[in-house]
């Protein structure tokens, strides 16, 4: 029996196990939306902006490990997805974005709501398709999911002209597909793995740097086994948080521009780096010529282009992190019988000394609300048992520094692209996937306004997402740079004259709004928010002068860190602002 392209699309998504899609209707996707109207198994979540739809699908994907799906119309609907797609591409998140397109007859005619979205998204997708014939549709959807979720994951866009959604064809679902030009390498080279195991056994000052690849490949258990087996400390990139338990005694927390003192010191002093599922981003390495001067580098990554892109590598291992670590752990268990603790005694002593010298801290005695205090309270009250999404900027860095992520897929943050407005829709996506979990978006007063319209999505779908706004009346991270490097000239970063009343704003959307202006109010507000099974905005009026430390200035080596007391001059009081 022949069915329409719209039905083929819906059946294909169901075959892929999709239950939720995020989207927004429009002219050329009307046929698809008409079939979704009576659809029982496949639920469309209407966001209030297409960017929100893609971020929500991204949050859903990060929290579940499955591909997130978004469906939008042509032209502006499609172009509004670009930031979301680029966000997912930079962080290797599997997405399938389906965009409507004008009828094939009109493509290239500058038709109403036409955009060459395949051309526009070519550099920010893993792959994209324009379907010209309904007979290709089912197979293309299968290929889209295959490409998005295998190898190094990433977003795939499928552009679907209106006439393809109405044309009819037999629904033939390919159970298996093979693409001759796409064969990711999963098994690491055995010889290289042996060599790496041998180097780890010999190293006196080894350090593991774990990235997002650990989470993408589901290798947390194997990573923990490697670290414990060989007694090697672990530091994580922003994307790697949760890949190794943050509360583990071998954890050094995050490294890089706002990494811990001891993690960055360890990188610079290590004689061996075991880089796992990470890509040596500039925020991780700092000044590249001065990075890890004493270390030989083992680099495990599924993407060969990540290896030797930014740093020299002594032992490259292309493969899936989980499979490589499984083999490596086996080799180490069988062949290498060092007494690790003895060999590494001096190293662990040194690490302990650095931890004591400069622990992660802030002014805990301040009367005013410190943002770090809010994060610590959230950690304390949830026992770490929450999914944390973040926006981008200071809020994101404090959330990375002062909350310990013990499990993978509990940390949702735009790492590579650094997309403000990501966190709230991402939290919505995660909450939809896990209705019973506590999902908290840690936000700033700037970032939250970038996708604040999704309050409607959260409320109408009864998603009890909690948004903790660290309200400093500034675009805080940019302000921090202006204070440190631009003579306190706060050009266009001061928001306080026109900041909305977040409590009233939440109430206007039929959500709950709470506010804390004093330190003593923080805990009651959080407790109240966690108790209520509704969408809650919490407005924490924090110390606007607070900065993210440690900080490696741009272009400096990562052990050239700034700390609060190294400010060039005493902090100006509030008068500078008001």
Nearer to other proteins, 141 or 432 (CB): 141
Specify the long-range contacts of residues 111-116, CB closer than 8 Å, at least 24 apart. 112/27, 112/75, 113/26, 113/27, 113/28, 113/73, 113/74, 113/75, 113/76, 113/77, 114/74, 114/75, 115/74, 115/75, 115/76, 115/78, 115/79
Residues 293-332 that bind other proteins (CB under 8 A): 303-305, 308-309
Which string of DSSP letters, residue by residue, matches 323-347? HHHHHHHHHHHHH----HHHHTHHH
Residues 112-151 that bind other proteins (CB under 8 A): 118-119, 122-123, 126-127, 130, 147
From 112, 485, 486, 563, the catalytic residue: 112
Residue 128 CB, shortest distance to other proteins, in Å, is 8
Tell me if residue 23 falls in helix, strand or coil.
strand
Please confirm, yes or no, whether 533 is among the known catalytic residues.
no
Nearer to other proteins, 7 or 320 (CB): 320
Which string of DSSP letters, residue by residue, matches 235-260? EE-GGGTTSS-TTSTTEEEE-STT--
Residues 474-493 that bind other proteins (CB under 8 A): none
Nearer to other proteins, 148 or 561 (CB): 148
Please confirm, yes or no, whether 334 is among the known catalytic residues.
no
Which string of DSSP letters, residue by residue, matches 169-237? EE----S----TT-----SPPHHHHHHHHHHHHH-SSEEEEE-HHHHHTT-HHHHHHHHHHHT--EEE-
Nearer to other proteins, 93 or 469 (CB): 93
Minimal CA–CA distance to 324: which of 210, 233, 417?
210
Minimal CA–CA distance to 435: which of 387, 390, 469, 379?
387
The stretch near other proteins (CB under 8 A) out of 58-66, 161-169, 174-182, 260-268 is: 174-182
Nearer to other proteins, 118 or 433 (CB): 118
CB distance 162 to 31 below 8 Å:
yes
Spell out the alpha helix ranges (H) of 336-454. Answer: 340-343, 345-357, 371-382, 394-402, 423-433
Please confirm, yes or no, whether 162 is among the known catalytic residues.
yes
Residue 435 CB, shortest distance to other proteins, in Å, is 36
Residue 309 CB, shortest distance to other proteins, in Å, is 6
Residue 118 CB, shortest distance to other proteins, in Å, is 7
Residue 265 CB, shortest distance to other proteins, in Å, is 28
Nearer to other proteins, 116 or 271 (CB): 116
- For residues 300 and 325, give the distance between their C-alpha atoms in angstroms, rounded to a whole number: 9
178 scored as a contact of other proteins (CB under 8 A): no
Compute how many other C-beta atoms are within 10 angstroms of the C-beta atom of residue 112: 11
17 scored as a contact of other proteins (CB under 8 A): no
From 239, 420, 477, 551, the catalytic residue: 477
Please confirm, yes or no, whether 254 is among the known catalytic residues.
no
From 7, 11, 16, 50, the catalytic residue: 50
Residue 78 CB, shortest distance to other proteins, in Å, is 16
Residue 279 CB, shortest distance to other proteins, in Å, is 13
Please confirm, yes or no, whether 397 is among the known catalytic residues.
no
**Residue in this structure with the two tokens 């499990």, named with its chain if needed:** 407
- For residues 269 and 271, give the distance between their C-alpha atoms in angstroms, rounded to a whole number: 7
Compute how many other C-beta atoms are within 10 angstroms of the C-beta atom of residue 142: 18
Interface pattern 179-218 for other proteins (x via CB under 8 A): xxxx------------------------------------
From 66, 126, 142, 162, the catalytic residue: 162
Chain contacts with other proteins (rule: CB under 8 A): 118-119, 122-123, 126-127, 130, 147, 179-182, 303-305, 308-309
- What is the set of active-site residues? 50, 112-113, 162, 477
């Amino acid at each position: 029996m022949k069915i329409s392209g719209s039905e083929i699309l819906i059946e294909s998504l169901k075959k892929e196990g999709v239950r939720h899609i995020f989207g927004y209707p429009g002219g050329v996707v009307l046929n698809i939306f008409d079939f979704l109207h009576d659809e029982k198994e496949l639920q469309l979540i209407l966001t209030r902006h297409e960017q929100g739809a893609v971020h929500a699908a991204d949050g859903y994907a990060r929290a579940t490990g499955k591909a997130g799906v978004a469906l939008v119309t042509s032209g502006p609907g499609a172009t509004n997805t670009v930031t979301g797609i680029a966000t997912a591409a930079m962080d290797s998140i599997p997405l399938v974005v389906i965009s409507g397109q004008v009828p094939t007859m009109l493509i290239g005619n500058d038709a109403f709501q036409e955009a060459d979205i395949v051309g526009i998204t070519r550099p920010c997708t893993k792959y994209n398709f324009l379907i010209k014939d309904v007979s290709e549709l089912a197979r293309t959807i299968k290929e889209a999911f295959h490409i998005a979720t295998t190898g190094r994951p990433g977003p795939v866009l499928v552009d679907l002209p209106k006439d393809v959604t109405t044309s009819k064809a037999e629904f033939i679902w390919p159970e298996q597909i093979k693409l001759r030009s796409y064969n990711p390498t999963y098994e690491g080279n055995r010889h290289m793995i042996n060599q790496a195991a041998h180097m780890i056994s010999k190293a006196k000052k080894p350090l593991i740097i774990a990235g997002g690849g650990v989470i993408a490949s589901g290798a947390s258990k194997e990573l923990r086994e490697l670290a414990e087996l060989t007694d090697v400390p672990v530091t994580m990139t922003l994307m790697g948080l949760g890949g190794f338990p943050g509360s583990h005694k071998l954890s050094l927390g995050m490294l890089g521009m706002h990494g811990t003192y001891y993690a960055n010191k360890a990188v610079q002093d290590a004689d061996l780096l075991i880089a796992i599922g990470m890509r040596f981003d500039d925020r991780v390495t700092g000044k590249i010529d001065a990075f890890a001067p004493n270390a030989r580098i083992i680099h495990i990554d599924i993407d060969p282009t990540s290896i030797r892109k930014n740093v020299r590598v002594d032992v490259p291992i292309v493969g899936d992190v989980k499979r490589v670590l499984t083999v490596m752990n086996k080799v180490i268990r069988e062949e290498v019988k060092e007494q690790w603790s003895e060999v590494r005694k001096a190293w662990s002593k040194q690490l302990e000394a650095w931890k004591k010298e400069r622990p992660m801290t802030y002014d805990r005695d301040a009367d005013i609300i410190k943002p770090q205090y809010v994060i610590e309270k959230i950690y304390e009250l949830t026992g770490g048992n929450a999914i944390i999404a973040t926006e981008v900027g200071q809020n994101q860095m404090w959330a990375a520094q002062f909350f310990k992520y013990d499990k993978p897929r509990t940390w949702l943050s735009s790492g590579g692209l650094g997309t403000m407005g990501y966190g709230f829709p991402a939290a919505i996506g995660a909450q939809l996937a896990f209705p019973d979990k506590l999902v908290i978006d840690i936000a700033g007063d700037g970032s939250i306004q970038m996708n604040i319209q999704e309050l409607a999505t959260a409320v109408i779908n009864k998603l009890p997402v909690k948004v903790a706004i660290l309200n400093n009346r500034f675009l805080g991270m940019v302000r921090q740079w202006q204070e440190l490097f631009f003579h306190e000239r706060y050009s266009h970063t001061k928001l306080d004259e026109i900041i909305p009343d977040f409590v009233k704003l939440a109430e206007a959307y039929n959500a709950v709004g709470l506010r804390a202006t004093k330190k003593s109010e923080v805990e009651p507000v959080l407790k109240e928010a966690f108790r209520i099974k509704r969408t809650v905005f919490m407005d924490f009026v924090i110390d606007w002068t607070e900065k993210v430390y440690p900080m490696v200035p741009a272009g400096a080596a990562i052990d050239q860190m700034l700390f609060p007391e190294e400010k060039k001059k005493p902090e100006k009081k509030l008068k500078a602002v008001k």
